[in-house]
Structure 1
Amino acid sequence: MKNKLVLILLFVLPIAIYLLFSTATHNSLFLPTISKANADIPSHWQGLNQEKISMKDKITVLGFVGTNVMENRGNFFNLNQKIYNKYKGFKDFQMVMVVPAGNEPKAQQIMDELAPITGEMTGWKFVFAAPEEIQTFYDSYKLVGKLDTNLGTPDVIIVDKEINHRGRKGKNKKGKEEYKESYNTISAADLHNEMTDDVKIILREYRLALKKNNNARKDAFRDNIKQNIERNK
């Protein structure tokens, strides 16, 4: 019975993953790069419980909350329901929200409100820094959008494992030029449609790359065995 269950899982899981990724409607198999080799979260910035947070080797949804943490709780709910809940099972996926220092209790309250409806919260991160440092960090990405006077924006961006900013650039499915550097958390439609598709695409990129690397290692291992056999004849 146990062996049958393992065989069923081995058969069903790849199909389920394929169906998840194949539903993306973007016109490309790869998500365009807006900017490369951007700044990581500074090492002296601290998260809740003083943990260190990095975007290296993670697919990150990066946001800038500002001081109006509680006033923007609806944005967190939208992002949580439309994006995080769909991809929280991927260990290399995370959400990082940058907040001015001093707002730690408010951020913890948001976490406490989301936890009962979300369950697994390890991919949700809040990181805190001085206002001037947040502005400098945001400016380093050279975005068209700007932070408001509270150092916040409702827009979030996608950052890949090499800390490249990813988005939409070039012709869309209709052949029209488009540029999309961020996704509006106020708009459930923006998150549900465009951002959901784009996160699927970037996750698929890494899964395909991992599969290709695994196949290459298997081929190298097989060739090595063949060479050893031939050498020992």
Structure 2
Amino acid sequence: MKKFTVLGVLFLLPITAYLFFASGVNHFAKLPVLTENVLELNDFKTEDGKTKQLKDHITVLCFFGKDVESSYANAFNLAHEIYKKNYQFKDFQFVILTPEGVEDEVRILKTKLTEIENPENWNFVFGKPEAIEKVFQSLKTNYTLNDNSASPFVFIIDKDRSLRGRDNDEDFGVLYGFDARVYSEINNKMSDDIRVILAEYRLALKKYNSKREI
């Protein structure tokens, strides 16, 4: 009986170890910085004239362009799999860059988003197409905006205005952003990476508070 127990342990241990590490590679390291100094949003305003900043926030940065309705499916994927799970985390925000003149379309989308979760941290900001292009170019990715100043890819920006992503992704190599059209990519890769960066900041805050108590 003892012999079979030992054999069972020897058989199961490598499998258990593999599943443990394979399911959580990103959980044991910080999410890599791919681009530093992403351009701040100084040339953009919300509908009520306020500014939004990347600095000191964990931001999901999106580019919905002139044809907002064509991004509905992307927005709903993000709302269900990313926003709904994380929007109450302090300093977490969605920022969507859109051209001036689509305010009515944005209001319709925000109404639809209320059916999923309180959209208080969905921040739509408006600016000129040239300003949108400048921010997009500052990400230094291998993606491009279309003629409507839109992209299906969404990006994780940290509190220091650095683009975070994967530098050794099993499918893409360097993964700068996540294709919001692909539900599985948002539900798996992006959701995992958001957990990693939020855990990183939780740990940093915990260490900071511990030092203050000493």
TM-score bracket for the superposition, by shorter chain length: 0.7 to 0.9
Are 2:26 and 1:26 aligned?
yes
SS in 1 for 2:114: helix
Q: Once the two structures are superposed, what CA deviation does each residue of 1:158-210 show, in whole Å capped at 9, x if it has no partner?
A: 000111100001376xxx98211000110110000000000000000011011
The alpha-carbon distance between structure 1 residues 27 and 178, as it changes in their structure 2 partners (threshold 3 A), is farther
Any stretches of 5+ residues in structure 1 without a counterpart? 1-22, 220-233
User: Structure 1 vs Structure 2: percent identity of aligned residues?
Assistant: 33
Distance apart, 1:137 and its partner CA: 1.9
Query: Matches of 1:64 and 1:39 in 2, distance apart?
Result: 14
For the Cα contact (< 8 Å) 2:33–2:163, is it kept in 1? yes
Structure 1 equivalent of residue 67 of structure 2 = 68
The alpha-carbon distance between structure 1 residues 177 and 194, as it changes in their structure 2 partners (threshold 3 A), is closer
Query: Matches of 2:45 and 2:116 in 1, distance apart?
Result: 26
Task: Choose which of 186, 191, 197 in structure 2 pairs with 1:202.
Answer: 197
Query: Matches of 1:211 and 1:109 in 2, distance apart?
Result: 40
Structure 2 equivalent of residue 129 of structure 1 = 127
Q: Once the two structures are superposed, what CA deviation does each residue of 1:65-112 show, in whole Å capped at 9, x if it has no partner?
A: 111101221111111001000101112111111001100110111001
Query: Matches of 2:116 and 2:176 in 1, distance apart?
Result: 29
Structure 2 equivalent of residue 87 of structure 1 = 86
For the Cα contact (< 8 Å) 2:156–2:165, is it kept in 1? yes
For the Cα contact (< 8 Å) 2:77–2:183, is it kept in 1? yes
For the Cα contact (< 8 Å) 2:165–2:177, is it kept in 1? yes
Structure 1 equivalent of residue 38 of structure 2 = 38
For the Cα contact (< 8 Å) 2:38–2:135, is it kept in 1? no
SS in 2 for 1:74: helix
Are 2:159 and 1:161 aligned?
yes
Are 2:211 and 1:216 aligned?
yes
Distance apart, 1:35 and its partner CA: 1.0
Query: Matches of 2:199 and 2:212 in 1, distance apart?
Result: 20
Moved over 6 A (4+): none
The normalised TM-score by structure 2 is 0.84
Are 2:109 and 1:114 aligned?
no
Equivalences, count: 192
Distance apart, 1:150 and its partner CA: 1.0
Query: Matches of 1:212 and 1:31 in 2, distance apart?
Result: 18
